């Protein structure tokens, strides 16, 4: 009995590792990068999957929450979708004129197909913040030669707008006898349904639940079997941006400084315009005098 057990144990040790146990599921890699500077930027996603999902007819969705300080241009997104440079679910209307204080966060969905490397570029824009009454002037030292300029270009406070990390959902039509857990690490045991109308994922309700309404949830349940996946994120750049906040109390000095500078530049332009023709006429008169003397 003991020799047989030793023989069996030795045989298991000699077996290849791939035959002794199944490979542990891997995590997709999502790289995040915020390009350029200023108020108009691109949020770039680089999504990488294992090759085991290439032939499973899978689709993935990146659920991205955008804060109130960020907006997207619906017309710009529509052009990118028409040119097949971007695929996803977006709000039908976004108020691009409202300041951050009067705006709300919203969710968008970015669609893709698992492959070795899939790059998605999302154009985003930062909102301006409403002027603050509580802000004080922080720059009290003003140089004599730049008195007016320092009043106009005073140091403002900044508000930090941070874009949160997205969530990754995946759905595969052909998994044969295998489950999604054999290829990817799922972050939840629940099955999710994609509600395109509200642009959100909802947990699938049990069909025997008496509180659920089959008619109201019919459109939602047509797009189920989505799984929330654990992801390894790689932040290539910081996802934060500093947006200046104006000072409401700065309106009078900026107004007066603008008027003074405008008058100074206007008067200088007028005097300069009259001085140039006089100088030209003076030189022409000197040439005439010289020509008359030579005659």
The pair phi, psi for residue 152, each rounded to 5°, is -75, -45
Of all residues in the chain, the percent with pLDDT exceeding 70 is 74
* Range 98-124 average pLDDT: 94
Q: What is the pLDDT of residue 120?
A: 96
The answer, yes or no, to whether residue 225 has pLDDT greater than 80, is: yes
Q: What is the pLDDT of residue 37?
A: 83
Higher pLDDT, 278 or 112: 112
**CA 189 vs CA 153, 160, 229: distances in Å:** 55, 35, 10
Higher pLDDT, 185 or 170: 170
Higher pLDDT, 43 or 212: 43
The answer, yes or no, to whether residue 262 has pLDDT greater than 60, is: yes
Residue 107 CA to residue 65 CA, distance in Å, equals 4
pLDDT band of 91, cuts 50, 70, 90: very high
Is 289 buried (19+), middle (13-18) or exposed (0-12) by CB count in 10 A? exposed
- pLDDT tens digits, residue range 7-30? 454 544 544 444 444 456 678 999
Burial 250-261 (b: 16+ CB within 10 A, else e): beeeeeebeeee
Q: In what order do the strands lie in the sheet with 118-126?
A: 70-71, 118-126, 40-48, 29-35, 232-235
**Domain segments of the chain as ranges:** 22-132+159-191+226-244, 259-295
Higher pLDDT, 124 or 258: 124
Stretch among 9-23, 127-141, 152-166 having the lowest mean pLDDT: 9-23
Higher pLDDT, 272 or 144: 272
Q: What is the pLDDT of residue 96?
A: 93
Stretch among 12-26, 48-62, 161-175, 177-191 having the lowest mean pLDDT: 12-26
Q: What is the pLDDT of residue 143?
A: 36
Two structure tokens written together for 240: 């934060």
The answer, yes or no, to whether residue 256 has pLDDT greater than 70, is: yes
Higher pLDDT, 274 or 150: 274
**CA 129 vs CA 93, 134, 153: distances in Å:** 20, 14, 17
CA of residue 19 relative to chain centroid, distance: 44
Q: What is the pLDDT of residue 214?
A: 47
Stretch among 25-34, 49-58, 227-236 having the lowest mean pLDDT: 49-58
The CATH architecture annotation of domain 22-132+159-191+226-244 reads Sandwich (2.60)
Q: In what order do the strands lie in the sheet with 58-66?
A: 88-89, 106-112, 58-66, 167-172, 227-229
The pair phi, psi for residue 201, each rounded to 5°, is -100, 135
pLDDT band of 164, cuts 50, 70, 90: very high
* Range 47-69 average pLDDT: 89
Residue 206 CA to residue 221 CA, distance in Å, equals 11
* Range 76-102 average pLDDT: 94
Task: Please give the mean pLDDT across all residues of the chain.
Answer: 79
Closest CA to 166 of 95, 79, 233: 233
The answer, yes or no, to whether residue 137 has pLDDT greater than 60, is: no
pLDDT band of 261, cuts 50, 70, 90: very high
Q: What is the pLDDT of residue 169?
A: 95
Higher pLDDT, 282 or 52: 282
The answer, yes or no, to whether residue 257 has pLDDT greater than 50, is: yes
Terminal Cα-to-Cα distance of the chain (whole angstroms): 138
Q: What is the pLDDT of residue 293?
A: 77
> CB-based contacts of 242: which residues, under 8 Å, 6+ apart?
158, 159, 160, 161
Closest CA to 113 of 139, 152, 87, 89: 87
> CB-based contacts of 115: which residues, under 8 Å, 6+ apart?
49, 54
């Amino acid at each position: 009995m003991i020799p047989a057990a030793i023989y069996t144990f030795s045989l298991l040790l000699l077996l290849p590792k791939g035959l002794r146990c199944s490979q542990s599921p891997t995590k997709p890699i999502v790289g995040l990068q915020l390009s350029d500077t200023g108020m108009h930027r691109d949020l770039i996603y680089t999504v990488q999957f294992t090759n085991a999902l290439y032939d499973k007819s899978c689709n993935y969705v990146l659920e991205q929450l955008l804060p109130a300080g960020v907006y997207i241009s619906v017309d710009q997104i529509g052009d990118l979708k028409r040119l097949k440079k971007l695929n996803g679910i977006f709000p039908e209307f976004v108020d691009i004129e409202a300041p951050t204080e009067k705006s709300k966060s919203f969710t968008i969905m970015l669609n893709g197909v698992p492959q070795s490397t899939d790059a998605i570029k999302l154009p985003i824009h930062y909102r301006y913040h409403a002027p603050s009454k509580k802000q004080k002037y922080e720059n009290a030292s003003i140089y004599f030669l730049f008195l007016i300029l320092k009043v106009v270009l005073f140091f403002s406070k900044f508000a930090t707008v941070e874009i949160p990390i997205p969530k990754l959902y995946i759905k595969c039509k052909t998994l044969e006898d295998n489950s999604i857990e054999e290829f990817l690490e799922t972050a939840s045991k629940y099955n999710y349904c994609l509600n395109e109308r509200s642009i959100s994922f909802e947990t699938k309700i049990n069909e025997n639940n008496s509180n659920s309404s089959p008619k109201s949830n019919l459109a939602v349940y047509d797009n189920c079997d989505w799984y929330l996946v654990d992801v390894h994120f790689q932040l290539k750049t910081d996802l934060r941006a500093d947006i200046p906040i104006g000072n409401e109390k700065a309106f009078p000095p900026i107004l007066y400084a603008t008027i003074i500078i405008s008058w100074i530049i206007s008067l200088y332009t007028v005097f300069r315009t009259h001085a140039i023709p006089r100088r030209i006429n003076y030189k022409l008169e000197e040439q005439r005098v010289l020509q008359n003397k030579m005659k």
